Amino acid sequence: MSSDYPKRPTAKAGSPETAFEAAESVAEVAKTREAKALVLILANGSRGCTADEVADTYEWERYSSRPRLSTLKARGEIVDSGLRRKGASGRNQVVWVVPEYGPPAPVRNQGELWGEAA
């Protein structure tokens, strides 16, 4: 990924030029969809949303919500709740929530804070 991720859609280093052009062409749409996905996840509170639920709510193709959620996760705006719900495929999907509804951060001892062995 280029250094722009997760600020903007991008392609992996070494990808063909067309991959970078495609990423640039969806940048504005991606920003809008990320905002919509975040609003929906916020509105659902501790219940959160799966990728399919986001896509279904906004009538997007199912595959198009996952990159937006990945970007929100990379920016720390959403976290994996630890819960799973069945998606349209019948497989379990991650339930995404905002950090305040996510699992507690691991407890660290003081030595870990300073990079020392416990």
Give the start-to-end residue ranges of the domains of the chain: 17-101
Q: How far apart are CA 81 and CA 74, in angstroms?
A: 15
**Residue 21 confidence (pLDDT):** 72
**CA 63, 44, 67 angle in degrees (round to 5)?**
20
Q: How far apart are CA 91 and CA 37, in angstroms?
A: 21
What 110-117 contacts at long range (C-beta under 8 Å, 24+ apart), as own/partner pairs, is: none
Residues 57-91 pLDDT 10s: 999 999 889 999 999 999 999 999 999 999 999 99
CATH code, residues 17-101: 1.10.10.10
Q: What is the dihedral of CA 50, 98, 34, 89, to 10 degrees?
A: -10
Residues 2-58 pLDDT 10s: 466 666 666 678 888 887 776 676 677 778 999 999 999 999 999 999 999 999 999
**Residue 3 confidence (pLDDT):** 60
